[in-house]
Amino acid sequence: MAETAVATDIGFLTQFGKLVGSVFTPLAELTDIGTPETSRDSVDFTHFGSPDFHREFKPGLSDAGELPISYNLIPGLADDLVIATHLATRLVEQWQILFPNGAKFVFKGFATKHSRATPIDDKMIGSATFKISGKPVLTPAA
């Protein structure tokens, strides 16, 4: 059996944030970055002469999905304010995940959800979900 690839690593030091031109501004205290689940529609092309009473399908449009994040909440400051401000704008903006090995996942999207939790006996957390618009780009590490 082959050894694990040297480049395989844990997610520690992964960053997520806004990308304006070539300026990347990561959010500070992220604790989880989900990766989107890409899906594709199937379009039914069945007709009255489809062979052996079986439906026929062709691939349809792709959907790059959503990207959830979680962060340590400092109400009204830093990450919390960036996300809340973005959510109020109705803009589709450019965002980026920067992986520890230098690979980049860049997409256009917008926040669809933003929540905060303040439990009595645990750390306060915030979370947000971003809807990806169009085709994202994954650039391998250099």
The pLDDT of residue 28 is 85
- With beta carbons less than 8 A apart as the criterion, state whether 137 and 94 touch: no
Q: Is residue 112 part of a domain?
A: yes
Cβ neighbours around 104 below 10 Å, total: 17
Q: Is residue 10 part of a domain?
A: no
The pLDDT of residue 131 is 98
Residue 81: give its domain's CATH number.
4.10.410.40
How many domains, the chain?
Answer: 1
Q: Is residue 6 part of a domain?
A: no
The pLDDT of residue 6 is 67
The pLDDT of residue 55 is 98
Q: What are phi and psi of 68, to 5 degrees?
A: -90, 145
Q: Is residue 40 part of a domain?
A: yes
Cα 104 vs. chain centroid, distance in angstroms?
Answer: 12
pTM of the model: 0.88
- With beta carbons less than 8 A apart as the criterion, state whether 2 and 45 touch: no
DSSP state of 76: T
The pLDDT tens digits of the residues spanning 74-112 come to 887 777 888 999 999 999 999 999 999 999 999 999 999
Q: Is residue 43 part of a domain?
A: yes
Q: Is the pLDDT of residue 123 over 80?
A: yes
Q: Is residue 59 part of a domain?
A: yes
Q: Is residue 2 part of a domain?
A: no
The pLDDT tens digits of the residues spanning 24-76 come to 999 989 999 998 999 999 999 999 999 999 999 999 999 999 999 999 998 87
First-last CA distance in the chain: 28
The pLDDT tens digits of the residues spanning 5-23 come to 666 788 999 999 999 999 9
The pLDDT of residue 142 is 80
The pLDDT of residue 80 is 84
- Structural domain containing residue 47: 15-139
The pLDDT of residue 86 is 93
Residue owning tokens 């205290």:
29
Strand partners for 56: none
Q: Is the pLDDT of residue 3 over 90?
A: no
- With beta carbons less than 8 A apart as the criterion, state whether 69 and 32 touch: yes
DSSP state of 7: T
Q: Is residue 3 part of a domain?
A: no
Q: Under DSSP, is residue 15 helix (H, G, I), strand (E, B) or coil?
A: strand
